[in-house]
Amino acid sequence: RVAPTIDAVLLSHPDMMHLGALPYAIKHLGLSAPVYATEPVFRLGLLTMYDYFLSRWQVADFDLFSLDDIDAAFQNVVRLKYSQNHLLNDKGEGIVIAPHVSGHLLGGTVWKITKDGEDVVYAVDFNHRKERHLNGTTLGSFVRPAVLITDAYNALNNQVYKRQQDQDFIDSMVKVLSSGGSVLLPVDTAGRVLELLLIMEQYWAQRHLVYPIYFLTNVSTSTVDFVKSFLEWMSDSISKSFEHTRDNAFLLRHVSLIINKEELEKLGDAPKVVLASMSSLEVGFSHDIFVEMANEAKNLVLFTEKGQFGTLARMLQVDPPPKAVKVTMSKRVPLVGDELKAYEEEQERIKKEEVLKASISKEKELKASHESNAKASDPMVVDASSSRKSSNAGSHVGGNVDILIDGFVSPVTSIAPMFPFFENTADWDDFGEVINPDDYMMKQDEMDNNMMLGAGDGMDGKLDESSARLLLDSAPSKVISNEMTVQVKCSLAYMDFEGRSDGRSVKSVIAHVAPLKLVLVHGSAEATEHLKMHCAKNSDLHVYAPQIEETIDVTSDLCAYKVQLSEKLMSNVLSKKLGEHEIAWVDSGVGKVDEKLTLLPPSSTPAAHKSVLVGDLKLADFKQFLANKGLQVEFAGGALRCGEYITVRKIGDSNQKGSTGSQQIVVEGPLCEDYYKIRELLYSQFFLL
């Protein structure tokens, strides 16, 4: 009902919560809109979907979508860089989108959507804090957008000091490891786990720890390989470190990347740290490892994000935790014996039915073709009786007799029988045949596939070797399952490493951005109501908190019109260049030309307007400018002291937030020679209209 009406899809983060339904929507719901994302979101999101599918497929007959559906969903994704403006086409004409840093996940995006000079900012799951591998969000640079769409997920939570949190995180693991236990961290495929890997790398090196760390997903090696190439999307510290030392932060020295449990089984009960997907504990390696570790009191399951409602992870995070949980252990095994024989017979029967259906369909098509041509003469068929009649008739009257040549009789209504021939209708110009450059260029998706495949081809290049082998194995298989009760004797802990701004920071950011309208999504009813009441109490915001499937209208109260300038008016306009633009003052009237609003020359001579100074003066730059002119200048009390008597002061409008408000430049001092000289130099920093 909704998917076919969507004109564009914007992906914000490379995790299941933000893109998990994309293949299903395209396959089953009729979604056909173009998809936009940053390069890391595209690459890591693809690996996340692979890992999820493999985890599901290994324990169930998963049929919501296939790997081909995942590839189809991602093959036409348009990749953008941070701050890159992209103009939409077709129905989106006039709309400009641009991704900006969110600070939550690698490549994570705050989307800025601009139409007719008004901004809509979509900022769900952002983080203002600078972390090891990510810079903080740039959301604070937006001022007075028409609409801000954000979430209330963390509105009721306040975070502890980050360095102390990292210390507690490492100490809790070392305590368990030193007592002979192991630690399981259920993590996502390619999201927040990257920050955890860097934290452990740093502290393992500082403390000279020797306990093994394993990163276990179906695509762990591919994930880290891609991440190594995304340094320009990471924090400034990582980029600068690579520039100076050529040391890649994700050349992991203390973490082993594995794609199956065989390595873990070799260690037995030896102390170790395992970061395994999925974070929900419902499926994947983390589910199986939890079942193995739960009945040992010396082990620890450490959650770094809140579990979703209805998942095993959320069940274990309640206080107090359950003493026992029911789980389903599933495994895919090959068919053998009678089951294999029955499967092969069924496949043979299905194949025969398909062949029979195809032959019946072909016969029907041939029959329909013969019937449609029955009334027309067939040049390949000669009717002997009609030939004899025509021949006899010709002999009786002494007229011409038809002569049969090689059995052909050319019908009057058809052309001569011949092989298919297609005439070349290419266009020509003064230089020869006109060519289409697109015919000689490799398609972008083919280039991307080649980059992903590398030297290999097909699935082997996209997935890790073991995962690809598992899927390419066409042997018939089935899933066997059994329910069991697991006694939860191990320790359970939760530490917030979700990488989201806490409630205090969210409120501060909203107050700074000061949108005209605020839309709250993605949060508990209690958290949403709390943030809604806070914003309504402390500002004059229009706050909306729509429910699922509820549609709201956030159309701007301002009326914007698109007008064209008449040629007669433009011929009298004197423009001045300002950076990349040209500016001018225009006095005009408004009329309609060809049913379009048009600015026309005024009917009478307009009154002289007050002079307008256009520009943004920075006192630090003006200080340097005056110094170059030989004047003695210095900062004093936030103002610029020029010589002995003159002071230049910048005063902003207190009613306006950010840099978009009007500002005043005040020149204080006696009317002396220096005063007029400095005023003239000050005017030279602006454009006068």
pLDDT at res. 388: 43
pLDDT at res. 625: 86
- Name residues of the chain where pLDDT drops below 50: 375-405, 448-461, 654-661
User: CB–CB of 401/391 below 8 Å?
Assistant: yes
pLDDT at res. 216: 94
Number of residues that this document lists for the chain: 689
Partners of 36 in the β-ladder: 10, 78
Which residues, in sequence order, are CB contacts of 358 under 8 Å at separation 6+? none
pLDDT at res. 384: 43
In whole angstroms, give the CA distance from residue 371 to residue 501.
Answer: 73
Q: Do domains 3-155+501-544 and 162-335+476-494 have the same CATH topology?
A: no
In whole angstroms, give the CA distance from residue 215 to residue 272.
Answer: 11
The correct CATH number of 3-155+501-544 out of 3.60.15.10, 3.30.390.50, 3.40.47.10, 3.40.50.300 is: 3.60.15.10
Q: Dihedral, CA atoms, 588, 589, 590, 594, nearest 10 degrees?
A: -90
Question: Which DSSP helix (H) or strand (E) runs through 497?
Answer: none
CA distance to 631, 650, 667, per residue, from 641 (Å):
10, 12, 10
The correct CATH number of 162-335+476-494 out of 3.20.20.140, 1.20.1510.10, 3.40.50.10890, 3.30.930.10 is: 3.40.50.10890
> Each residue of 547-601: pLDDT tens digit?
888 888 888 766 667 788 888 778 777 777 776 678 888 888 888 887 778 888 8
pLDDT at res. 61: 86
CA distance to 10, 88, 385, per residue, from 97 (Å):
9, 8, 76
pLDDT at res. 404: 47
In whole angstroms, give the CA distance from residue 438 to residue 405.
Answer: 49
> What is the domain partition of the chain in residue ranges?
3-155+501-544, 162-335+476-494, 564-600, 613-688
Cis bond before residue 320 (omega within 30° of 0): yes
pLDDT at res. 397: 41
**Pair type for strands 86-87 and 95-101:** antiparallel
pLDDT at res. 401: 47
pLDDT at res. 409: 53
The pTM is what? 0.72
pLDDT at res. 383: 46
> Each residue of 206-264: pLDDT tens digit?
999 999 999 999 999 999 999 999 999 999 999 898 988 888 999 999 999 998 888 88
Cis bond before residue 278 (omega within 30° of 0): yes
pLDDT at res. 474: 63
pLDDT at res. 393: 41
